Each structure stands twice: as structure tokens, then as C-alpha cells.
């Protein structure tokens, strides 16, 4: 036989060979686990649309933190669900707010665990929007002041990193300025730089009780149809002093993760969101897919797309699976 062709299968002949030439590796060090903290006592309540994810009151947090550490997960991001909501989201920046208290408790318990604070107002406002509302409009600049207050209060409580998610223009520079003035020059900002107005957030709104009470978030979050706009959003955040750029959601936006990675030299984070999680959970509960292999394939895909960090509700399961391998 004289025809010539490339023999790609040579490098796939054994698991050892495949490992030698593997381009991307998912590790437990890539993972950030989101935690939902609530007020009250003795609460560990499963979120119905997110099997395996719970609301924790502060007194039940210890068992979860112990488990996380045991699994080798080194970073968590905190979302607070307060009892009291008002027009200006005052519990977001209250000294004894639920996230501030949780941060303090976790850092006291396990100083080595990296605690990231999500900085937004939507869980704390009675209208459910991420900023100040006037006459049905979400106001940009007045929102910045409240976000700065929130970030500074979170850093004061001991947060290791601030992650603003509200998509107001200028939020990174405002928060950077506020943190610096308060003496937190060493606290990095992981900006939700590219956050789409996505339907994949459905279960999270259940979990965080943060569905907007009127309208939607399309005046501040991005249109899913747009790619180049993502680069403008990210460029602004780079200029404003972001330390890490996040793309959210992940699955339907792999191309955006890649473009952000190629265009900028900051670390890129991908948020594998609640709807992505719930789809896999329900399909695997029905026996339609193999949860472990699908999740590992998906997260490896995010790494291949360019994600350095992955925020994911699968983190605990992934840590277990990786340990067994
Ligand atoms: Zn928000």
C-alpha cells in the first residue's frame, strides 16, 4: 500500500501516552466553590432546583467548611441571603450583614481558606435589581457608592478577594479606589467583567431569592448575541484595575472565554452557573448521562477554552472524583 496519511492514533495508543501529550489538566486548585449563607439557626436546607447545594446558617457552616478543606478545595465565594431587604440593600454593607459575619467566622475557623465576597445588591434590595432604582430605572453612578461601601465592609470582615458582579459601568475603578482609600491595597478584584443577561441563572435566583421584581437585567447585563462587546467590557475593567476577569455563564460562552484569554494577559475565570449545574444533575438523576464523565469533560472544556479558574457548584464532587483517579 503506497498511500500516505497521518497516523494520529499513534499518540493515543495507551493511557500513559495519552497522559504524556494531554494539553489541559483540570485540578482541584482551579476550583472555587460557591456557598449560600442565610440568617437563622440550625439551617441546612437543600435548594430544590440545585440538588446537593444547601443554604447554611452560620452555626451549621463549620461542618461544610471542614468537608471543603478535607476535599482539598482552597477557595469559596460567598452569597448572602438576608432576612431584611430594602430599597437600598442596606444589609449588603451592614457591619453585621450575613456575608460579613460568615466571612469573619470562616476566616476565624480556617484562615488558610481563601474567602471571596460576591459584591452586589440584588440579594439585598426589595426590588431585586443590582443597583439603585429610581422611577423604574436602574441608576448607574448612585449604585457605585453603595457597591464601594459593600466591598469595603466585606474586606473589613476579612474577605481575601472582592468579586463585583453588578455590571454597573465604572464599578471596578470605584471599588478599587474605595478599597485603596480604606487601606486594602492588597485585596484583589475579580471582576464579573463579562456577564450576560442569561436564562441559565434561573436556579440561582431561587437560591438567592434575587429575582427582579420588575423588568429584567438587560440594561446592565450583556446581550447574549454579542461577542465584540465582551472585549470592550473586559478592556474597561483591565484599565480600571481588575486583577482577574470573569466570564459568566461558561457553557454557552466558551468562545468568549477564549477571546478574553487571547486578548488580555490577566487570569480568566469562568462561572459554571446554576442552570448548567441543574441540567446535568437532572439528566444524570434520570440515568440519561454519566454525571462524573460529563462534568469532567465540561470543566476540562472550560480549561481548554482558556479558563484559569472555575467557579462551580460541582466543585465538591469534582474534588472527590479527581482524588480517586
Ligand atoms: Zn446582582
Is position 195 annotated as part of the catalytic site? yes
Query: pLDDT band at 242, cuts 50/70/90?
Result: very high
| Mean pLDDT taken over the chain | 96
Sign of torsion over alpha carbons 288, 290, 294, 297: negative
pLDDT above 70 as % of the chain: 100
Predicted model pTM: 0.96
> How many A from CA of 320 to the centre of ligand 1?
31
Give residue 292's pLDDT. 98
248 catalytic, yes or no? yes
Ligand 1 centroid to Cα of residue 287, in Å, is 34
> Would you tell me how many other CB atoms lie within 10 Å of the CB of residue 214?
9
Residue with cell 475557623: 109
Distance of CA 32 to the CA centre of its chain: 7
Cα 232 to ligand 1 centre (Å): 21
pLDDT for residue 208: 78
The count of other CB atoms within 10 Å of the CB of residue 242 is 25
d(CA 50, CA 68): 18
**By percentage, how much of the chain surpasses pLDDT 90?**
94
206 pLDDT above the threshold of 80:
no
Q: What is the pLDDT of residue 34?
A: 98
Instruction: Indicate whether 1 pLDDT > 80.
Output: no
Distance 129 CA to ligand 1 centre (A): 6
Pairwise CA distance, residues 44 & 61, whole Å = 9
Residues 63-113 pLDDT 10s? 999 999 999 999 999 999 999 999 999 999 999 999 999 999 999 999 999
Quick one: cell of 294? 460529563
The mean pLDDT of 248-272, rounded to a whole number, is 98
Taking alpha carbons only, the member of 30, 97, 35, 31 closest to residue 65 is 35
Does residue 267 have a pLDDT over 80? yes
Distance of CA 122 from the midpoint of ligand 1 (Å) = 4
285 CA distance to ligand 1 middle (Å):
30
Catalytic residue among 149, 248, 281, 316: 248
Q: What is the predicted pLDDT for the residue at 210?
A: 80
- φ and ψ of 252, to 5 deg: -85, 5
DSSP string, 52-89: T-EEEEGGGHHHHHHHHHHTT--EEEEEEE-S--BTT-
Quote the pLDDT of residue 171. Answer: 98
Cis-peptide, bond into residue 249, ω within 30° of zero:
yes
pLDDT surpasses 90 at 212: no
Task: Give the model's confidence band at 205: pLDDT under 50 very low, under 70 low, under 90 confident, else very high.
Answer: confident
Q: For the residues 15-34, what does the mean pLDDT come to?
A: 97
Q: Which of 11-15, 115-119, 149-153, 216-220 has the lowest mean pLDDT?
A: 216-220
pLDDT, tens digit, 9 for 90 and up, residues 274-298: 999 999 999 999 999 999 999 999 9
Give the pLDDT mean for 262-280. 97
> Higher confidence at residue 45 or residue 212?
45
Q: Is the pLDDT of residue 207 over 90?
A: no
Tell which wins on pLDDT, 202 or 260. Answer: 260
Q: Report d(CA 87, CA 93) in Å as an integer.
A: 13
Active-site entry in 195, 261, 303, 316? 195
Distance in Å, CA 178 to ligand 1 centroid: 19
* pLDDT greater than 80 at residue 47: yes
pLDDT score of 325:
81
Give me the residues paired with residue 275 across strands. Answer: none
Amino acid at each position: 500500500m503506497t498511500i500516505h496519511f497521518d497516523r494520529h492514533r499513534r499518540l493515543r495508543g495507551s493511557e500513559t501516552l495519552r497522559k504524556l501529550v494531554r494539553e489541559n489538566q483540570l485540578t482541584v486548585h482551579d476550583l472555587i466553590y460557591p456557598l449560600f449563607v442565610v440568617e437563622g439557626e440550625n439551617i441546612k436546607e437543600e435548594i430544590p432546583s440545585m440538588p446537593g447545594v444547601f443554604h447554611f446558617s452560620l452555626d451549621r457552616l463549620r461542618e461544610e467548611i471542614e468537608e471543603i478543606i478535607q476535599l482539598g478545595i482552597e477557595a469559596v465565594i460567598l452569597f448572602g441571603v438576608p432576612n431584611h431587604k430594602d430599597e437600598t440593600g442596606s444589609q449588603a454593607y451592614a457591619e453585621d450583614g450575613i456575608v460579613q459575619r460568615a466571612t469573619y467566622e470562616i476566616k476565624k475557623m480556617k484562615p488558610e481558606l481563601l474567602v471571596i465576597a460576591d459584591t452586589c445588591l440584588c440579594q439585598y434590595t426589595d426590588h431585586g435589581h443590582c443597583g439603585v432604582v429610581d422611577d423604574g430605572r436602574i441608576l448607574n453612578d448612585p449604585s457605585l457608592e453603595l457597591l464601594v461601601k459593600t466591598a469595603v465592609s466585606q474586606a473589613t470582615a476579612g474577605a481575601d478577594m472582592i468579586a463585583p458582579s453588578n455590571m454597573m459601568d465604572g464599578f471596578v475603578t470605584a471599588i478599587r479606589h474605595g478599597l485603596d482609600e480604606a487601606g486594602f491595597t492588597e485585596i484583589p478584584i475579580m471582576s464579573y467583567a463579562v456577564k450576560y443577561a442569561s436564562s441559565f441563572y434561573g436556579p440561582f435566583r431561587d437560591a438567592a431569592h434575587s429575582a427582579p421584581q420588575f423588568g429584567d437585567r438587560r440594561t446592565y447585563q450583556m446581550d447574549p448575541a454579542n461577542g465584540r462587546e465582551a472585549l470592550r467590557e473586559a478592556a474597561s475593567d483591565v484599565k480600571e484595575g481588575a486583577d482577574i476577569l470573569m466570564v459568566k455563564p461558561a457553557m454557552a460562552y466558551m468562545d468568549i472565554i477564549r477571546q478574553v484569554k487571547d486578548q488580555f494577559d490577566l487570569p480568566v475565570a469562568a462561572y459554571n452557573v446554576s442552570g448548567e449545574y441543574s441540567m446535568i444533575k437532572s439528566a444524570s438523576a434520570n440515568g440519561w448521562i454519566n454525571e462524573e464523565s460529563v462534568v469532567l469533560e465540561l470543566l476540562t472544556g472550560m480549561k481548554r477554552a482558556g479558563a484559569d479558574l472555575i467557579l462551580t457548584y460541582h466543585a465538591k464532587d469534582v474534588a472527590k472524583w479527581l482524588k480517586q483517579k
